[in-house]
Amino acid sequence: MIRVVHYGLGPIGVGVARLIASRKDMQIVGAIDIDPQKVGRDFAELLGRSEPLGVSISGDAQRVLTTSGAQIVVLTTSSSLKRITGQIRQIVECGSSVISTCEELSYPPAGNADRVADLDALAKKHGVAIYGTGVNPGYVMDALPLMLTVPCAEVKRIRVERVVDAGKRRLPLQQKVGAGMTRPQFQQKVDDGSVRHVGLRESATMIANSLGWTLSQYTEQIEPVMAEREVVTPYLTVKPGEVAGVHQIGTGFVDGQALVTLDIAMYVGAQEAHDTIWIEGTPNVQTTIIGGLHGDVATAAIVVNSIPRILSAPPGLWTPNDLPIPHWRRP
Amino acid sequence: MIRVVHYGLGPIGVGVARLIASRKDMQIVGAIDIDPQKVGRDFAELLGRSEPLGVSISGDAQRVLTTSGAQIVVLTTSSSLKRITGQIRQIVECGSSVISTCEELSYPPAGNADRVADLDALAKKHGVAIYGTGVNPGYVMDALPLMLTVPCAEVKRIRVERVVDAGKRRLPLQQKVGAGMTRPQFQQKVDDGSVRHVGLRESATMIANSLGWTLSQYTEQIEPVMAEREVVTPYLTVKPGEVAGVHQIGTGFVDGQALVTLDIAMYVGAQEAHDTIWIEGTPNVQTTIIGGLHGDVATAAIVVNSIPRILSAPPGLWTPNDLPIPHWRRP
Over residues A151-207, the pLDDT tens digits come to 999 999 999 999 999 998 888 888 889 999 999 999 999 999 888 888 999 999 999
> CA dihedral in degrees (A87, A90, A93, A94; nearest 10)?
-110
Distance CA A305, CA A203 (A): 20
Whole-number pLDDT of residue B109 = 72
Q: How close A297 comes to chain B (CA, Å)?
A: 8
Inter-chain residue contact A281 with B305, CB threshold 8 Å: no
Whole-number pLDDT of residue A194 = 86
Inter-chain residue contact B283 with A304, CB threshold 8 Å: no
Inter-chain residue contact B283 with A293, CB threshold 8 Å: yes
A188 Cβ neighbours under 8 A, 6+ residues apart: none
Percentage of chain B beyond pLDDT 70 is: 100
Inter-chain residue contact A289 with B286, CB threshold 8 Å: yes
Do B91 and B75 meet the contact criterion of CB atoms below 8 Å apart?
Answer: yes
Per-residue b or e along A30-69, where b marks 16 or more CB atoms closer than 10 Å to that residue's CB: bbbbeeeebbeebbbebbeeeeebebebbeebeebbeebe
Inter-chain residue contact A139 with B150, CB threshold 8 Å: yes
Whole-number pLDDT of residue A110 = 64
Distance CA B181, CA B244 (A): 8
Do B299 and B12 meet the contact criterion of CB atoms below 8 Å apart?
Answer: yes
The dotted CATH code for B2-133+297-318 is 3.40.50.720
The per-residue pLDDT for range B91-146, each reduced to its tens digit, is 999 999 999 999 999 998 767 889 999 999 999 999 999 999 999 999 999 999 99
Amino acid at B305: N
The answer to whether the bond into B151 is cis (omega within 30° of 0) is no
Q: Where are the domains of chain B?
A: 2-133+297-318, 143-292
Do A147 and B144 meet the contact criterion of CB atoms below 8 Å apart?
Answer: yes
Do B183 and B243 meet the contact criterion of CB atoms below 8 Å apart?
Answer: yes
Inter-chain residue contact B150 with A297, CB threshold 8 Å: no
pLDDT-flagged residues of chain A (< 70): 110
3-state secondary structure A57-100: EECCHHHHHHHCCCCEEEECCCCCHHHHHHHHHHHHHCCCEEEE
- Residue-level length of chain B: 331
Do B47 and B300 meet the contact criterion of CB atoms below 8 Å apart?
Answer: no
Closest in A210, A300, A301 to B327, CB measured? A210
Do B245 and B167 meet the contact criterion of CB atoms below 8 Å apart?
Answer: no
Whole-number pLDDT of residue A66 = 98
Per-residue b or e along B30-69, where b marks 16 or more CB atoms closer than 10 Å to that residue's CB: bbbbeeeebbeebbbebbeeeeebebebbeebeebbeebe
Inter-chain residue contact A327 with B146, CB threshold 8 Å: yes
The answer to whether the bond into A331 is cis (omega within 30° of 0) is no
Q: How close B276 comes to chain A (CA, Å)?
A: 9
The dotted CATH code for A2-134+297-318 is 3.40.50.720
Q: What are phi and psi of A54, to 5 degrees?
A: 75, 15
Do B276 and B288 meet the contact criterion of CB atoms below 8 Å apart?
Answer: yes
Do B250 and B110 meet the contact criterion of CB atoms below 8 Å apart?
Answer: no
Whole-number pLDDT of residue B110 = 64
Nearest chain B alpha carbon to A209: B329
B114 touches A at CB < 8 Å? no
B281 touches A at CB < 8 Å? yes
The per-residue pLDDT for range B245-291, each reduced to its tens digit, is 999 999 999 999 999 999 999 999 998 899 999 999 998 999 999 89
Closest in B306, B325, B331 to A147, CB measured? B325
3-state SS class at A101? coil
B42 Cβ neighbours under 8 A, 6+ residues apart: B52, B53, B54, B55, B56, B57
Angle at A144 between CA B214 and CA B286, to 5 degrees: 60
> CA dihedral in degrees (B249, B253, B258, B263; nearest 10)?
-20
Do A90 and A21 meet the contact criterion of CB atoms below 8 Å apart?
Answer: no
The dotted CATH code for B143-292 is 3.30.360
Mean pLDDT across B169-196: 91
Mean pLDDT across B158-165: 97
CB pairs under 8 A between A and B: 152
The per-residue pLDDT for range A8-48, each reduced to its tens digit, is 999 999 999 999 999 999 999 999 999 999 999 999 999 99
Helices marked H in chain B = 11-21, 43-47, 61-67, 81-93, 103-106, 109-126, 143-147, 171-176, 183-191, 200-211, 295-311
Q: Pick from A180, A160, A174: which is nearest to A296 by CA?
A: A174
Inter-chain residue contact A153 with B211, CB threshold 8 Å: no
Do B58 and B39 meet the contact criterion of CB atoms below 8 Å apart?
Answer: yes
Distance CA A283, CA A261 (A): 19
DSSP B48: T
Q: How close B192 comes to chain A (CA, Å)?
A: 32
